[in-house]
A and B are shown apart, each in its own frame.
Chain A
């Protein structure tokens, strides 16, 4: 028995099984994870690690464990999507910790948060003066959402009746020297038009362009491989 070969094969099994299961489980970002999701993720990862390196037991029982955990998470996710009551029961509910400028001590106690933790979360949201806060909600993933009092909120163009130009999403027309024909068709343009555009910016062919974007107001951004920054003049962030 060549142990390293067995570990190699088991690692491939665990790696791709995890990849497939996590793809099935969806695209929840780390910031959206509840405490339970977090623990579940750790457990699934731990089972996969044992599957890879624990040669004292067969790979199959570990794989079954991995499958069952992933399946249960999938069932809970499905339940979460289907019913608000189930979602509340599993993930808990957001808790209001500051209401109309007043700290809700009972809620803090219930959520196992100290005043110092609350102040830390407020500081991470650029709030150093607690009297500026109208509402603060502790989300189920442990993050704090705040609504500042109207008098301390930053002024927006809307507040002063200023009209701003519309800005939509940019589309990639050239990515890493390759023309994105689908996007080009989407905006009803052809390669000849694109070539003229990049020529106008001083590039001879598509290969010379690293990235070309167009926004919804037809404004183009073009960046080439040869940059005009002189060698040695790049500044480094120390």
Chain B
């Protein structure tokens, strides 16, 4: 029979618990951008700017970038964030798309503000 050293028997559970805690609590860190392509907040800001200037074409392009960025972020934070928050931010971006297509400045700005708020609360 294989004998496990006492220190190994103590280290393994401590290490495991440490990894678990990291997986569950690092949502706030992992949501932050790791490259230019997943900087969600910057894309939302750009979209807001274009919506305010009523340049709907550019706003739509920036919103698509924001959606792509969000997809990348979700992969990292899915183990530490709430499913409903993740889905809600997704829906908010989809609704913004609709408002941009309808050229509705107020609606788009409202949805983008909501997206910002969900982002702020994410992983807290």
Q: Please report A residues at the B interface, Cβ cutoff 8 Å.
A: 1-3, 5-6, 9-10, 13, 16-17, 20, 23, 55-60, 63, 175, 178, 180
Contact = CB atoms under 8 A, between A and B. Distances in A.
A5 B87 CA distance: 16
B84 A17 contact: no
Nearest to A61: B24
A139 to B, nearest CB: 33
Given A1-B74, A13-B23, A57 B17 contact: no
29 contacts: A1-B78, A1-B87, A2-B78, A6-B79, A6-B83, A9-B23, A13-B20, A13-B23, A13-B24, A17-B20, A20-B13, A20-B17, A55-B82, A56-B82, A56-B83, A58-B24, A58-B27, A58-B80, A58-B123, A59-B79, A59-B80, A60-B24, A60-B25, A60-B80, A63-B20, A63-B21, A63-B24, A175-B1, A180-B1
Contacts of A6: 78-79, 83
Nearest to B71: A1
Contacts of A58: 24, 27, 80-82, 123
Contacts of A57: 82
Instruction: Bin chain B's interface residue count.
Output: 20 to 34
A59 B25 CA distance: 9
B83 A55 contact: yes
Interface of B: 1, 13, 16-17, 20-21, 23-25, 27, 74, 78-84, 86-87, 123
Nearest to B14: A20
Contacts of B13: 20, 23
Given A20-B13, A58-B27, A5 B78 contact: yes
Contacts of A60: 24-25, 80
Contacts of B23: 9, 13, 59
Given A1-B86, A58-B27, A60-B24, A17 B17 contact: yes
A19 B81 CA distance: 24
Contacts of B78: 1-2, 5-6
Contacts of B74: 1
A16 B83 contact: no
A217 B1 CA distance: 26
A3 B83 contact: yes
A20 B16 contact: yes
Q: Which 9 A-B pairs have the closest CB atoms?
A: A55-B83, A60-B24, A20-B13, A59-B24, A13-B20, A1-B78, A1-B86, A9-B79, A58-B82
Nearest to B20: A13
Contacts of B1: 175, 178, 180
A55 B80 CA distance: 10
